Chain A
């Protein structure tokens, strides 16, 4: 493996050209690039590394300022100097997922055969493939075992895959608002999004890069539909109700009369500026295929037998995309496997996206769990010690 320091400003990129990645679909990627950000310093023993796994449309900038948007990173509530995931204490790694569009190898990357961007020639990837790629990155840092792997939603799926398939490298795991398998309803929502993209004439069977096109409308509709699933009925009602958008009365037309319509349109249109439609197809597919139990003869507990990892599972009361029942199912399996597991359901009306928001109870739980895990790991930094 060799490091490619030439083409990155905001995040680093590492090129793996000698460590081929064999994918679940049978295809082997001979070269693979991963874009990542790190925060903090790796200690001499290399025992203080935390891997943050991002969600479907996330990126490698959880902390500080996102250099591309100028906005705060997506998890600055939690990650940063003096925060719960304290970058003064821990070495924090976050990489753009395989198949993503934030600098890691994905459908918009050039096919090594010289034919231009992969498009639909990019092999179908899985959550396990994403995690295999992250394993290469952890090898690259010479880290044997991660202090913690943490993430919400699809990030939580990666956390579970790490714990199930590479458990010896995971001291503690925090899967938040996630599931050990994608539900039928969630696959259904993803299919709606994908069909919207496929139906957009600008998609050009996935080969839109050469046409300088982008299926913006299809991708925007996909995002709009998905965004509804990230919120909750109560949160929508509280935030928008039936309020009208910049008008006194309804217009008897199909303009965005209601604030919620205007909000969703804005969500859709701003999303297409930062996300690649093919990446959306590939990554949603990876989530659909995720089913840890199926990989273990239908027995979820078998995936975690003899696991020495300490787990902290969290769910939110109003999350209907990854409802608490999914976490309970996971926790029961972890208990059956004899694993060390904590499970907390957080009261919130903010829906699935609650894991990204200011949720004091979630933060207190995570803080307590990480401190106790750090103690068990022997990470007794000055900053560690007692409660805040």
Chain B
């Protein structure tokens, strides 16, 4: 799900600014699972900058091979089906960056993440962004934006939601939103808990830190 060209750590593509934000949220030397780790840009950042014991799970074979070739511990697997094989509380932090919307059963993926990890970091594109709303309202077209680049018929994003929708789902699943950072054109704003209605309109993506209640 990550553009392979944005690989090198420290040279993150502008549209993956969430990766550095996530990296800053991860405690040093902790044990981390990155689900949907793509070509390993975040994992490499975590290993190099934060000294974490990092593991990755990635659906795409080329991404996996790319990661392992660079010395990252990554296995080929599917977030929808393979998380059940990981042990309870096996990780300090479990990360899902820009992947939830591409899973078959997002709520089950979150449940499994909450079982595997003590702390969850989830970043999602915001379908509530004003540009998205405007595209639908004014043009009557499925939106294609900076964070949602593909047309409706070829997008991997099958379960899109707004930041508010996501926070609601967390309530249902018994996950508390410890904090969240919303991003608007690369500008970050921190929130103590759920994102505000204003952020739900202005942010193109959100990064949530979750804990089991």
Contact = CB atoms under 8 A, between A and B. Distances in A.
Given A342-B75, A345-B61, A369 B82 contact: no
Contacts of A345: 61, 64, 76
A338 interface: yes
Residue with the greatest number of chain B CB neighbours at <10 A, chosen from A342, A346, A365 = A342
B153 to A, nearest CB: 27
Interface residues of B, number: 21
Contacts of A347: 61
A312 B68 contact: yes
Interface residues of A, number: 28
Contacts of B75: 313, 331, 335, 341-343
Interface in A316-368: 331-333, 335-338, 340-347, 361, 364-365, 367-368
Contact of A335 (B53, B64, B72, B86): B86
B95 to A, nearest CB: 16
Contacts of B53: 340
Interface string B60-95: 010011011111111111000010011100100000
Given A341-B73, A343-B75, A365 B68 contact: yes
Nearest to A364: B69
B71 A369 contact: yes
A375 B53 CA distance: 14
B194 interface: no
A337 B87 CA distance: 7
Given A342-B72, A368-B70, A369-B68, A332 B85 contact: yes
Interface in A184-219: none
Contacts of B77: 331, 343
Nearest to B70: A368
Given A312-B68, A342-B68, A335 B85 contact: yes
B50 to A, nearest CB: 16
A351 B121 CA distance: 41
B73 A310 contact: yes
B61 A338 contact: no
A312 B65 CA distance: 11
Contacts of B76: 343-345
Q: Which of B65, B72, B87 has the most chain A CB atoms inside 10 A of its CB?
A: B65
Contacts of B71: 368-369, 371-373, 375
A335 B72 CA distance: 15
Contacts of A338: 87, 90
Contact of A340 (B64, B73, B82, B85): B73
Nearest to A375: B71
List 5 tightest A-B contacts by C-beta distance, closest first.
Answer: A372-B71, A368-B69, A343-B75, A332-B85, A342-B68
Interface of B: 53, 55, 61, 64-65, 67-77, 82, 85-87, 90
19 contacts: A310-B73, A331-B77, A333-B85, A335-B85, A335-B87, A336-B87, A337-B87, A340-B73, A341-B75, A342-B74, A343-B76, A344-B68, A345-B64, A364-B65, A368-B68, A368-B71, A369-B71, A373-B71, A375-B71
